[in-house]
Structure 1
């Protein structure tokens, strides 16, 4: 019997397990998924927890609820991949051999990588919202916080869900306005990028919205350390940004298994062919989701679109055909902007976010780079879609390849 091993039981790994189990004969293909954690978190929901919109129960379910019948599940840590001998070494000494391997080990926050971050102010005046622990601690903090300098900072690129820090400051502005203390809260977003997004057209639209909401932007700020005594961010060129409450995106890194296996870059993201989704040096290894070093967003939509391409290419590989499926870096992200409205961006490797309508040209119902209520509803509906359709590998009415239909070219 031939074997497929999937490393990681998060969004990407679960989607692939469902797609492959539905397609491959059980008496011919043995599929095993490996993950050390038993709880699946809906990570986009972490953003809403600090403001009391979501609670912990809204974002967590057992992973076993989404793994298909007929897939072996091992809850254990991964030591390393021995790619030359096509085997995976697990913690405790167990060895899994494979014909094909899918790496879907994701990315995680590493606050210890920034000097001063995880010290005496951690989860007292400094928080992340990219973990359930950080989001819950920040929710508790905001219940009694009476104002001051609120800073949302990004340490380094890349990181999960690039628009989440923007969504955070938009929701914070609404939260403190409704709480009646907006005049006592100074909100600043600090980024190493030249603007609030990586592409100019989206940056222009989002920057105008920040100005409208009186949210400050400090760009080109590369955090060297956190000064706990002065309560300040300090950059490599010794600039400082003071804070009373700091919300931060810590350095993101891939799984340490990648480093031990010699398969990735210095941040432990796996070297990946950006079109075929094969690991750069081993054609029987495929990579999906945040674990890959693709030049596109680390976001659930990317994992979803890539899963369709990876599935087609893996089936091609199984049947000895050329890998004809081509991933274009498609990403699609709703952006919560507060007060029941949202924006939407749709882009890929070559095309930046453009204005227009989505998914139907001229009809929508969603507006690209527009701040509308229907976009907000799209974001809210996605949680149901995530639990009931996306994780189970179901077909969604959005093509994996980005289309220019409905988009408008813009020049400055």
Structure 2
């Protein structure tokens, strides 16, 4: 058991939830400087989420909130088509390739900005934001951009990542002055660091030095064919922690997506620190299906938290559960490390835990395992946040503007 004052204790979903709850308690008491919380609006918010779910999933067969949904945008099963064509020798080899693809794609999935677009050659369709980033990263994957083995393009190698240039990534994303992509230098640097970290960690990523080597690491942690979801996140944070740029390091521990807020609580070296691990948890959710397809059951899904990003956070602002104490704050961008953004993200995590049981109740679902948070998000809060944003603002932008370096939002 890790001492709660040890900075390593922040590398867990439990710590994300604990600090988020602490800030929600401050908000309910009216003590947060930037946001007011109106729990009386949660019912109407849940109604909006249920409306979205019933429209999109009338049979309630909701998939996980995962990157795989974006690979199927437009009704075209890109990964499924590749699976039928690729020469993987067994389920484990396919799982490693799936890990390769989704790890890179998720780590490239920070906000693209309001004007960036990607035109897909195979369909002629144009996509934006997260879907566009997914399709672009899929195309780069199948082109062999991330592979160091020309005869084996459907893989990701540390050597290729470490040498990836900003120009190559810009070309892959069709980005340029006329089609600007937010945070392109940050995305490139993140891929370079990923390559360096994978190469330096054979225990985590295997002797082939592939991100997909994490599949073998996780498979080895399974017991009787089952793996706790929390173990997925623990493994990701342990082995991917060093890739995050210029973040808080305490006693030599890279804390990744962790920020400061004076009302967050805690003691010792962890006082005032608020972890989120958004991309790592998004990645954990996105690894569920490759693991299950390889015969490993993932248990305890709700140990992971909701994702503190702008669609889920926007949902609570656009439904009035949250309100800025100074409305003028909506008119200017905010850096990710600002107390305002930290509050917004923490409140989002805690409120997602509040909204999930209300959604289940309205759908007549008694057991959380029958509609885990991973499906509430997909069905769900993320989709409703986007739907409301499109209805309320012409460009579908979130209600708050965030200054992103391409590695958080």
TM-score, reference length from structure 1: 0.27
TM-score, reference length from structure 2: 0.27
- Is the radius of gyration larger for structure 1 or structure 2? 1
Instruction: Choose between structure 1 and 2 for higher RCO, CA contacts under 8 A separated by at least 6 residues.
Output: 2
More helix per residue: 1 or 2?
Answer: 2
